[in-house]
Amino acid sequence: MKVTALIVCAGRGTRMGPGAPKQYRQLGGMPVLRHTAIAFLDHPDVTDVAVVIHRDDLALYEEAARGLPLLPPVIGGATRDESVRLGLEALAERAPDAILIHDGVRPFVTAETIAASIAVLDGAEAAIAAMPVFDTIKSGADGVVTGTIDRSILWRAQTPQSFRFQTILAAHRAVALRTDLPPITDDASVAEALGIPVRIVPGSEDAFKITTEADLRRAERHLRGDE
Ligand SMILES: Nc1ccn([C@@H]2O[C@H](COP(=O)(O)OP(=O)(O)OP(=O)(O)O)[C@@H](O)[C@H]2O)c(=O)n1
Ligand SMILES: C[C@](O)(CO)[C@H](O)COP(=O)(O)O
């Protein structure tokens, strides 16, 4: 099966403090994105890897990707789902069998999760890496709790989110034309909007998303083996 990893990296990281975009911040002596790209390039089940970047980040990307056998980068869009769709359209001619859509700011994706995300597509169209919820989850408004949500049915979605390529390409194209949907924050939501079943495979607590400065410090501790 021809498997392409599509790493989305075109965000501006507004929840991170001032400085370079978080995907290009130094982590253990190299950019965050380089860690992520190598995790997929080194995986035996992944055929090739493409990265979606912000139009202003070409120099940063070229430095981070130096010497890595990546497909040509794709310029992303104003939202994550637009960046994904642009990445998928750029791969339409290549037409892999399967696509693993992954956040560039989740550098510690595990080989086990990548393997499981590919294997599950033997019998499914879509799957997400996810973790159970260990905290009690409340609903609330105006500073007042309005209810408690049964956490036994909740999952923390991670990436990669894996799909048969033609399925997710068609789904993103269809959803891009819809005006009745809530904001799309992951690719499984695109599949769900079309009634496509989405399987769950085990993620990892190590595969956390680097969103804030605190996450970057956590990532440095993780690399040092301090957590
Ligand atoms: N227009 C966008 C927005 C996000 N992303 C990517 O989607 C992943 C997850 O998004 P998030 O963590 O929200 O990144 P940012 O949008 O950069 O961060 P923030 O929401 O804090 O601004 C990141 O790798 C980010 O680069 C993208 O490719 N294109
Ligand atoms: C795709 C994702 O990482 C799954 O948890 C998450 O939805 C990305 O959200 P963000 O706000 O774009 O970081």
**The pLDDT of residue 17:** 87
Question: In this predicted complex, what is the ipTM?
Answer: 0.98
- 189 is written with which tokens? 């939501």
Ligand lying closest to the C-alpha of residue 109: 2
Q: How far is it, in rounded angstroms, from Cα 203 to Cα 211?
A: 18
Ligand lying closest to the C-alpha of residue 37: 1
Q: What is the pTM of this model?
A: 0.97
Ligand lying closest to the C-alpha of residue 22: 1
Q: How far is it, in rounded angstroms, from Cα 46 to Cα 48?
A: 6
pLDDT in tens, the chain (227 residues): 999 999 999 999 999 989 999 999 999 999 999 999 999 999 999 999 999 999 999 999 999 999 999 999 999 999 999 999 999 999 999 999 999 999 999 999 999 999 999 999 999 999 999 999 999 999 999 999 999 999 999 999 999 999 999 999 999 999 999 999 999 999 999 999 999 999 999 999 999 999 999 999 999 999 999 87
Torsion of CA 182, 187, 189, 193, to 10 degrees: 90
Maximum CA pair distance of the chain?
53
Mutating to test ligand 1, I would choose from 105, 172, 213 the residue with most ligand atoms within 8 A of its C-beta, which is 105
Contacts of residue 66, defined as CB under 8 A and 6 or more positions apart, other chains included, come to none
Mutating to test ligand 2, I would choose from 209, 210, 212 the residue with most ligand atoms within 8 A of its C-beta, which is 209
Nearest CA residue ID for atom 3, ligand 2: 158
Beta-strand pair 98-103/155-164? antiparallel
Name the amino acid, one letter, at 29.
Answer: G
The answer to whether 129 and 159 have CB atoms below 8 angstroms apart is yes
Domains, the chain, in order of start with CATH, read 3-130+157-224 (3.90.550.10)
Radius of gyration of the chain (CA): 17
Show the ligand 2 pocket: residues with CB < 6 angstroms.
80, 103, 157-159, 185-186, 209, 211
Q: How far is it, in rounded angstroms, from Cα 198 to Cα 53?
A: 27
The minimum-distance atom of ligand 2 relative to the CA of 161 is 1
